[in-house]
Copies of this chain bind each other. A is one copy, B any other.
Amino acid sequence: MNNFEYQNPVKLIFGKGSIAKLSENLHKGEKIMMTYGGGSIKKNGVYDQVKKALEGFSVVEFGGIEPNPDYATLMKAVEICRAEGVGFLLAVGGGSVIDGTKFIAAAVDYKGEPWDFVKNPTLPIGETLPIATVLTLPATGSEMNPSAVISRRETREKMAIGNPKLYPVFSILDPQVILSLPKRQKANGLADAFVHVMEQYMTDNISTLVQDRWAEGLLSTLMTVAPNVLEENPDYDACANFMYAATCALNGYIAMGVNEDWATHMMGHELTAIHGLDHGVTLSIVFPGTLEVFRKEKRDKLLSYAINVLKIQSGTKDEKIDAAIEKTEEFFNSLGIKTRLSDYGIGQDTIDEIVSRFTQRGWNLGEHGIATPEKVKEILESRL
């Protein structure tokens, strides 16, 4: 087990009816900017619940944050925050709204062009605005971590930022929000949370027994609840388990003391940046290739996964690993996600562009930098 430090200050407020607890967790006196996305919260009742809880507070609204939140959109919110003297940000939405709001929190007081700190993680970000969230789509874990992913369509870039100052003060998770979600969003959320776990688990074996068993518990939970969650009228408990698992998939609990991968995410971000594919879709395409290309480096964990999560009992070790990779792709397909680049009309030219970008950035990704540009090429070509 590696040495580690961990501190997560987020207050989690979880359960049926919890949006009503919003007002008791906010301080009056600060002007609040309420951020949201394309307006689905106006259809599913969340907007009304939040507005009711915010009665008596000074609120300015900023809607229209798109999936893969765009720098240009977010900079409009930054301008409004500066002009109106906003002192607190309340993100009501999924990972894109929350991530975008984290960027706003860091950009408002930033001297200079905020894209600079997105592109260069070593730049200090100075003062940030406090933020809280009402989560409407389980997927990214952003509600309980200090990270965000920001896109810039102008330059076809998608980059991750992370800073302890960007932990939400509190996050409200009412699993009932899942009941009205379209199947595509639920499928993307399940795939995203699943691969988040894998990025922290499916690396080398360095005797992290608790973390490994916990990662396996999250994977098996997501696989168990997925069929019910995807139904038109899912059970509350299935939704609650999905929502809690997605938060635990990326709040740092399973990352302590382990080596992490994240190469699949980096490749996925490029596919979204270049072709606009849903994030969960990109992960589902890439991840089986990562497993196959690094089956030797990830051998111990592939076997643990095969035996403990997928309950594969028979066959040689290599046959178990073959079956595990196959069943992983089948899981994504069972969510209704197609898992080949060719399913989306993407070919060799995109692979060459991604490899060229990674080469220019000098990126050797994955645990111990094993995912060199050459290996990235091999992974993506295996997914054509």
A251 (CB) vs chain B CBs: closest residue: B253
A10 (CB) vs chain B CBs: closest residue: B7
Query: Chain A, 15-27, contact with B by CB distance < 8 Å: what is the 0/1 string?
Result: 1111000000000
A239 (CB) vs chain B CBs: closest residue: B1
Contacts of A237 in B (CB 8 A): 1, 207
Q: Is the CB of B257 within 8 A of A14?
A: yes
Q: How far is the CA of A64 from the CA of B244 in the complex (A)?
A: 43
Q: How far is the CA of A241 from the CA of B14 in the complex (A)?
A: 29
Number of copies of this chain that the complex holds: 2
Q: How far is the CA of A221 from the CA of B213 in the complex (A)?
A: 8
Query: Chain A, 241-279, contact with B by CB distance < 8 Å: what is the 0/1 string?
Result: 100110010000100110000000000000000000000
Q: Does A2 contact B (CB under 8 A)?
A: yes
- In angstroms, how far is the closest chain B Cβ from the Cβ of A20? 11
Query: Chain A, 267-305, contact with B by CB distance < 8 Å: what is the 0/1 string?
Result: 000000000000000000000000000000000000000
Q: How far is the CA of A17 from the CA of B48 in the complex (A)?
A: 52
Q: Is the CB of A6 within 8 A of B12?
A: yes
Q: Is the CB of B1 within 8 A of A244?
A: yes
Q: Does A220 contact B (CB under 8 A)?
A: yes
Q: Does A123 contact B (CB under 8 A)?
A: no
Task: Give residues of chain A (175-221) contacting chain B, Cβ–Cβ below 8 Å.
Answer: 207-210, 212-214, 216-218, 220-221
Q: Is the CB of A7 within 8 A of B14?
A: no
Q: How far is the CA of A8 from the CA of B216 in the complex (A)?
A: 24
Contacts of A218 in B (CB 8 A): 210, 213
Contacts of A6 in B (CB 8 A): 11-12, 14
- In angstroms, how far is the closest chain B Cβ from the Cβ of A167? 11
Q: Does A9 contact B (CB under 8 A)?
A: yes
Contact of A15 among B220, B248, B257 (CB under 8 A): B257
- In angstroms, how far is the closest chain B Cβ from the Cβ of A206? 8
Q: How far is the CA of A241 from the CA of B206 in the complex (A)?
A: 11
- In angstroms, how far is the closest chain B Cβ from the Cβ of A194? 13
Q: Does A312 contact B (CB under 8 A)?
A: no
Q: Which 3 A-B pairs have the closest CB atoms?
A: A3-B15, A213-B217, A7-B11
Q: Which residues of A contact B (CB under 8 A)?
A: 1-18, 170, 207-210, 212-214, 216-218, 220-221, 224-225, 237, 240-241, 244-245, 248, 253, 256-257
Given known contacts A209-B245, A213-B213, what 20 new A-B pairs fall within 8 Å (CB)?
A1-B15, A1-B241, A1-B244, A3-B16, A4-B12, A5-B12, A5-B14, A6-B11, A7-B9, A7-B12, A7-B170, A8-B8, A208-B241, A209-B241, A210-B241, A210-B245, A213-B220, A213-B221, A214-B217, A244-B257
Q: Could you pull out 25 A-B pairs where Cβ atoms are within 8 angstroms?
A: A1-B15, A1-B241, A3-B14, A3-B15, A3-B16, A4-B15, A5-B12, A5-B14, A7-B9, A7-B11, A9-B9, A12-B256, A14-B256, A14-B257, A15-B257, A207-B241, A209-B220, A209-B225, A209-B241, A210-B218, A210-B245, A210-B248, A213-B214, A213-B220, A216-B217
